[in-house]
Amino acid sequence: MIDKEYNWLLSHPEVEVQFPGEYIGIVEDSLIAHSKDLREVLKKAEETGKEPFIYKVPPADKLVVV
């Protein structure tokens, strides 16, 4: 199941620009929440009844090399 969410993330690089420093929650092929507060994202994810993929977008002033 996580493969679907991870592939969504890879195909939407704009989240790096839109939500720097925030947590984002992805369920299936949808962005369900974003916030600097992880608890808010987890609460929204819980409302879906499905297991979310949570990703912390790096801050805009940080370069992340993997």
DSSP string, 8-43: HHHT-TTHHHHSTT-EEEEETTEEEEEES-HHHHHH
Phi, psi of 34 (to 5 degrees): -150, 140
Model confidence at 63: pLDDT above 80? no
Tokens at residue 50, please? 């499905």
pLDDT value at residue 62: 72
Cβ count within 10 A of residue 48:
14
Say whether pTM exceeds 0.75.
yes
Tell me what the mean pLDDT of segment 36-45 comes to: 96
| pLDDT score of 1 more than 70 | no
Q: Specify the higher pLDDT residue, 60 or 59.
A: 59
- In the predicted structure, residue 5 carries a pLDDT above the cut 90: yes
